[in-house]
A and B are shown apart, each in its own frame.
Chain A
Amino acid sequence: MKMFRLAATAAVVLLSLGAAQAQTTLRIGLAEDPDILDPTMARTYVGRIVFAAFCDKLFDIDEKLNIVPQLALSSETVDDGKGLVIKLRPGVKFHDGEPFDAEAAKFSLERHLTLPGSFRKPELASVDHIDVVDPLTIKLVLKSPFSPLLAQLTDRAGMMVSPKAAKEAGDKFGLHPVCAGPYKFVERVQQDRIVFEKFADYWNKDNVFIDKIVFQPIVDATVRLASLKSGSLDLIERVLATDLKDVRADSRLKVATAIELGYQGITLNIGKDKAKGPLSQSAKVRQALDLTIDREAINQVVFNGEFQPGNQWVNPDHPYYQKAFPIRPRNVEKAKALLKEAGVTPPINVDFLVPKGAETEAVAQVVQSMAAEAGFDLKIRVTEFATSLKQAEAGEYQAYMLAWSGRIDPDGNSYVFLHKDAPQNYSAWANADADKALDDARLTSDMAQRKAVYEKLAKLELDDEGILYIFHRRIIIAHTTKLEGYKQMPDGLVRVVGLKLK
């Protein structure tokens, strides 16, 4: 008996040693702890990074923002834009062994549309119902044409979940998610780690080389970088722009970057300003404020020149950027002249709502000192984020530093902020022509046509200035040189297929 036990122990030890050597683990440091891991109920950017490891979507994007198939094979717009036929990839399995087919795709989309508390419902609002055409084809029947739909399906709204697991778990699905991605969920300890292991039956398993992925939230950027340097992590997201020099100088580290899809800007209260300050009353005053801002100087002073100055809801390298409206160079004299035209005498007091955060506050201070030269007195009011949002909704501000993480389709960066009565139109800007342009852009999928429509919108927005777009952040990912094959996509997510650890 003793002998047997000894042998068994020895065998276990040997086995575990063997396994330890063969197993490769990718450890990723996140800037926040993600929210629930249910694609229907999730709502954070950091959560999307985790989803990319285990929850495949119908479509994906490439580096140039083209939409490419993932769990789908192809798509076709029919019925004058009121139908979208999607052919599905055959032979795909969910992590629980259930097959992925037209019924499962229909189930996932319907779950997004109907589950109470679903955050995908607004994204799929154009969908009336889903038809199963054949076992590997579905058709989305729309209430009206909606060209951004395909782009929605490259994100959480396009994520497919196992019907069996989802039915059993209900709204607790996110505690043990079952999808069809390259890795499957093992365990999660809140605020500590989320563990995934390679899924043996993944449809693209030949390109998955790492056995395990562990996500660790580490909130402090300095500590996150320290953990990467000390070797307890292999890849980290959201490196500070001011740390880039340091990272580049380290021969054991590599940097991957892309300019974000979102923007950083200042929303100006036009329609809800109870004090009726000059900013809300005259477009000329808003233009004057815009002219006092030297965007490149902000970039240099606060971000070591690593970010990209901008003036529209998409960055200057984006296919939908309107080159006809470049950034206006700083011109304090012209700003003063505009103020005179508007009949306003300085100093112009502005209640400037700024969410707490070192970088945000620094930008606000630079803007404050620039605007002062033309006679603006921006009174910075630093406020914790949740509170600032509430005040912005209530219109208790005159200028509000607000960022948007960005969506793949330009509609996602413009409609909800600029359309009259849209949920996030904090400026309460209302312009019938702009509304028409926003609506028209949804009707056609042709890029040239859409761009022409957006050009009208850009002109209106840049004249009226409900939002001053200031700059676009650089998504900065740092990883050890042991990790090979990493490519940064503009959506900031970490794609794990194709990665190798030496």
Chain B
Amino acid sequence: MLNFLARRLAQIVPTLFFVSVLIFSLQQLLPGDPALVMAGEERDPAVIEQIRHQYRLDQPVPVQYAYWIKGVLVGDFGESLRNKMPVRELIAQKLPVTLQLGAMAIIIAFLIGIPAGIVAAVKKGTAWDYGANFFALWGISTPNFWLGIMLIFLFSIELGWLPASGYVPLSEDWRASLAATIMPAFVLGNAIAAILMRHTRSAMLQVLESDYVRTARAKGLSERSVILKHAMRNALTPIITLGALELGTLLSGAVLTEQIFSIPGFGKLIVDAVFNRDYAVVQGVVLVTATVYITLNLIADIAYILVNPRLRG
């Protein structure tokens, strides 16, 4: 176990280094000149030259990289070209928002996806099963932005129950915070719930056909106990891993939803930064996202080993 952990941790360093080089070089492929974009409508050549110099855009790419990585190693991600905010501060502002949204989305996904998957498996071939499958198809194929706008029309404009956009931090007012994030969390969670439902259903079907379930039934246990205590536990392990990975995807993949609901999270930060050619922000955010993703992966692996002793080897 320890051996495995050490090996995995050792892999993280070269992975992150590779990611950092990749971010830096891919960004250079982006057409458009950051100094020109930054200048907006005030495209005076002297001023643009000054920006290039100030942000070392006039230096060779490896030199720029060296300056950046030197800062990153001591926790300095540079500052935003657009508004002079330290990138570290920007990330510190956005990460909690995205984590909150992601956590809520995952909870919603689990609450919907797992029961639906179990019901579909247990009542295979019945109307319940078809209903759950229909829901899954709908959840996977409905575009986030469409569902988002429809929810806004229904709950904000017609019914007036929830705010249409904006964000309130949890620490400020938890009720307002939940009200502001429940719709986007549902939009995100809905799509994941569909995926979880499909996986839960097939995992459950497999387990339900296995010998130990038959034994449990033969012992005369109630059906409820067979499904919840024996079958579900075993079926759920891969689902938990899947959930952890989906949470990682949410960190960077919630762009459209954040845009629709004006939630100031990670996705919005990075999209705006790409369009503004705000290199320092793009680099910082992608690096942090990669780190979190790798960490979640590691946690999932550890969780997997903990529940499945056969892998401990």
Q: Which residues of A contact B259 (CB under 8 A)?
A: 219-220
Say whether B36 contacts A393, CB under 8 Å.
yes
- Count of chain A residues with a beta carbon within 8 Å of a chain B beta carbon: 51
A203 interface contact, C-beta 8 A: no
A44 interface contact, C-beta 8 A: yes
Partner of B164, one of A44, A232, A405, A423: A232
The smallest C-beta distance from A227 to any residue of chain B, in angstroms, reads 4
Say whether B41 contacts A43, CB under 8 Å.
yes
Q: Which residues of B contact A423 (CB under 8 A)?
A: 43-45
Q: CB-CB contacts of B71-93 with A at 8 A, as 1s and 0s?
A: 00000000000111100001001
Say whether A216 contacts B32, CB under 8 Å.
no
A229 interface contact, C-beta 8 A: yes
Q: CB-CB contacts of B41-67 with A at 8 A, as 1s and 0s?
A: 111111100110010000000000000
Chain A positions 111-130 with a Cβ under 8 Å from a chain B Cβ: 116-119, 121-122
Say whether B40 contacts A116, CB under 8 Å.
no
B108 interface contact, C-beta 8 A: no
Complex Cα distance, B43 from A247, in Å, reads: 36
Complex Cα distance, B274 from A384, in Å, reads: 11
- Count of chain B residues with a beta carbon within 8 Å of a chain A beta carbon: 46
Partner of A117, one of B33, B51, B94, B275: B51
Q: A386-B275, A387-B31 in contact; A36/B83 too (CB < 8 A)? A: yes
Chain A positions 175-201 with a Cβ under 8 Å from a chain B Cβ: 175, 189-193
Most buried by A among B39, B47, B165: B165
Say whether B38 contacts A43, CB under 8 Å.
yes
Complex Cα distance, B41 from A35, in Å, reads: 13
Residue of B at shortest CB range from A125? Answer: B44
Complex Cα distance, B44 from A122, in Å, reads: 7
The smallest C-beta distance from A143 to any residue of chain B, in angstroms, reads 16
Complex Cα distance, B202 from A474, in Å, reads: 57
Say whether B83 contacts A174, CB under 8 Å.
yes
Say whether B166 contacts A226, CB under 8 Å.
no
Complex Cα distance, B164 from A255, in Å, reads: 20
A171 interface contact, C-beta 8 A: yes
Q: A223-B149, A424-B43 in contact; A218/B165 too (CB < 8 A)? A: yes
B152 interface contact, C-beta 8 A: yes
Q: Which residues of B contact A118 (CB under 8 A)?
A: 47
Say whether B260 contacts A223, CB under 8 Å.
yes
Q: Which residues of B contact A274 (CB under 8 A)?
A: none
The smallest C-beta distance from B151 to any residue of chain A, in angstroms, reads 10
Say whether B166 contacts A230, CB under 8 Å.
no
A329 interface contact, C-beta 8 A: no
Say whether A386 contacts B31, CB under 8 Å.
yes
Say whether B152 contacts A390, CB under 8 Å.
no
Q: Which residues of A contact B163 (CB under 8 A)?
A: 227, 230, 232
Say whether B47 contacts A232, CB under 8 Å.
no
Say whether B83 contacts A172, CB under 8 Å.
no
Say whether A119 contacts B42, CB under 8 Å.
yes
Q: Which residues of A contact B262 (CB under 8 A)?
A: 192, 216-220, 223, 227
B157 interface contact, C-beta 8 A: yes
Q: CB-CB contacts of A405-444 with B at 8 A, as 1s and 0s?
A: 1000000000010000001100000000000000000000
Q: Which residues of B contact A122 (CB under 8 A)?
A: 42, 44, 46-47
Most buried by B among A37, A191, A416: A191
Q: Which residues of A contact B42 (CB under 8 A)?
A: 43, 119, 122
Partner of A192, one of B40, B46, B167: B167
Say whether A230 contacts B43, CB under 8 Å.
no
Complex Cα distance, B43 from A294, in Å, reads: 31
The smallest C-beta distance from A95 to any residue of chain B, in angstroms, reads 20
A231 interface contact, C-beta 8 A: yes
The smallest C-beta distance from B179 to any residue of chain A, in angstroms, reads 11
Complex Cα distance, B269 from A423, in Å, reads: 31
Complex Cα distance, B48 from A116, in Å, reads: 11
B160 interface contact, C-beta 8 A: yes
B156 interface contact, C-beta 8 A: yes
Say whether A189 contacts B164, CB under 8 Å.
no
Say whether B83 contacts A119, CB under 8 Å.
no
The smallest C-beta distance from B145 to any residue of chain A, in angstroms, reads 8
Complex Cα distance, B83 from A172, in Å, reads: 9
Q: A189-B93, A190-B85 in contact; A230/B50 too (CB < 8 A)? A: no
The smallest C-beta distance from A274 to any residue of chain B, in angstroms, reads 18
Q: Which residues of B contact A387 (CB under 8 A)?
A: 31-32
Say whether B83 contacts A121, CB under 8 Å.
no
The smallest C-beta distance from A328 to any residue of chain B, in angstroms, reads 28
Say whether B36 contacts A119, CB under 8 Å.
no
Say whether B277 contacts A386, CB under 8 Å.
yes
Complex Cα distance, B148 from A227, in Å, reads: 13
Complex Cα distance, B160 from A33, in Å, reads: 26
Say whether B36 contacts A227, CB under 8 Å.
no
Most buried by A among B83, B152, B163: B83
Chain A positions 38-67 with a Cβ under 8 Å from a chain B Cβ: 38, 41, 43-45
Say whether A117 contacts B32, CB under 8 Å.
no
Residue of B at shortest CB range from A171? Answer: B84
The smallest C-beta distance from A34 to any residue of chain B, in angstroms, reads 8
B287 interface contact, C-beta 8 A: no
Say whether B84 contacts A174, CB under 8 Å.
yes
Question: 17 extra interchain contacts, Cβ-Cβ under 8 A, other than A216-B165, A386-B37?
Answer: A36-B83, A43-B39, A117-B50, A121-B44, A122-B42, A122-B46, A189-B93, A190-B94, A219-B259, A223-B261, A226-B157, A227-B156, A227-B164, A227-B262, A230-B164, A386-B33, A387-B32
A residues touching B (Cβ–Cβ < 8 Å)?
Answer: 33, 35-38, 41, 43-45, 116-119, 121-122, 171-172, 174-175, 189-193, 216-220, 222-224, 226-227, 229-232, 384-387, 389-391, 393, 404-405, 416, 423-424
B residues touching A (Cβ–Cβ < 8 Å)?
Answer: 31-33, 36-47, 50-51, 54, 82-85, 90, 93-94, 149, 152-153, 156-157, 160, 163-167, 259-262, 264, 268-269, 272, 275, 277
Chosen A-B contacts, 14 in total, with CB atoms closer than 8 Å, are A35-B82, A43-B41, A43-B42, A118-B47, A122-B42, A122-B44, A190-B94, A191-B272, A192-B166, A223-B165, A226-B165, A227-B262, A230-B157, A385-B275
Of all A-B residue pairs in the complex, the 7 with the closest CB atoms, nearest first, are A386-B32, A192-B264, A43-B40, A122-B44, A230-B156, A387-B31, A191-B264
